[in-house]
Amino acid sequence: MSLVTTRQRPKTQTRGEDTRRRILAAALDIFAAEGYEGASTRHLAERAGVNLPAIQYYFGSKEGLYRAVIGDIVDQTEAHMAPLAPKVSAAIADQNTQPAELLELLCEMLESFVVLVTSGPQIESKRLLFARAEVERTAGLDALHESGMRHMFQPCLGLVGRLFGKPTDDPEMVFRTLALIGQLLMFCHDSTARMLKTPELDEASVRTIQRLLREHTQAIFRTNLSGVKSV
């Protein structure tokens, strides 16, 4: 009897996880299109192809589901940016790191973030949700802002501060970092794809954006830092 239970449990867990993932995917589309207030749990359940109690079973409430959607995006962001994180931290901490290496890591951070906000499943819904995050004060969005600070802004700020030899609490360093990241924030919206008359950016377009961001960033630092002229 115990053997039967043991064999069946993985299938039950897999089925439950599949249902949970299906609800999350549907919720991302609905919350992005209609906002937190506009989305009804009935519509969410219908879109996911589940009964209404399933949302409560897996997420507790609409707010719980919304927080889970945000948490899922945060987890994806962390997994995507994770390979660069230790290299950036080590370079910032090592006072012997050369300006060329710091600049290269800064360019890699920007290029990696471009891929994150322009590619992957449900990218249009994610971009719309990012846009909502800039104007809405919905429960759970703090986690999205905090993730952006931890995985993108703070590492970039540390690199910029090292390149200029100034502390990260220097207002000019904060402004410079915001200006650099501001280059790519427009790609968090779907307006770029609309201008190109395509539902989403293809690989060639993403590579072009990466190249231009690198050129702009290198030009900025070549103008301001003699120590980086050799890059």
Query: Which pLDDT does position 194 carry in this prediction?
Result: 65
**Confidence band of 72 (pLDDT split at 50, 70, 90):** very high
Q: What are the chain's domains?
A: 2-225 (1.10.357.10)
Res 230 pLDDT > 60 = no
Find the mean pLDDT for residues 86-101.
95
User: What's the CA gap between 84 and 156, in Å, rounded?
Assistant: 11
Query: Which pLDDT does position 47 carry in this prediction?
Result: 93
Asked whether the CA dihedral 50, 64, 149, 97 is positive or negative, the reply is negative
Whether the CB-CB separation of 174 and 103 falls below 8 Å is answered with: no
Rounded percentage of the chain residues whose pLDDT exceeds 90:
58
> In sequence order, which residues have a C-beta less than 8 Å from that of residue 49 and are 6 or more positions away?
22, 26
Rounded percentage of the chain residues whose pLDDT exceeds 70:
84
Find the mean pLDDT for residues 129-149.
79
Instruction: Supply the DSSP string of 174-229, one letter for each residue.
Output: HHHHHHHHHHHHGGGSTHHHHHTTSSS--HHHHHHHHHHHHHHHHHHHHHH-GGGT
Question: Residue for token digits 């919304």?
Answer: 66
Neighbours of 90 (CB within 10 A): 11
Average pLDDT over the chain reads 85
Question: Residue for token digits 């290269």?
Answer: 104
Task: Give per-residue pLDDT as tens, 162-202.
Answer: 999 999 999 999 999 999 998 887 776 666 666 766 656 78
Task: Give per-residue pLDDT as tens, 12-53.
Answer: 568 788 999 999 999 999 999 998 889 999 999 999 999 999
User: What's the CA gap between 35 and 31, in Å, rounded?
Assistant: 5
Query: Which pLDDT does position 176 carry in this prediction?
Result: 94
Find the mean pLDDT for residues 104-133.
88
Res 222 pLDDT > 60 = yes
DSSP alpha helix (H) spans, the chain:
2-38, 41-48, 52-59, 62-81, 85-93, 99-118, 123-135, 141-148, 154-164, 171-185, 191-195, 203-224
Query: Which pLDDT does position 2 carry in this prediction?
Result: 46
Res 8 pLDDT > 60 = no
Find the mean pLDDT for residues 116-132.
84
Query: Which pLDDT does position 82 carry in this prediction?
Result: 92
Find the mean pLDDT for residues 67-81.
93
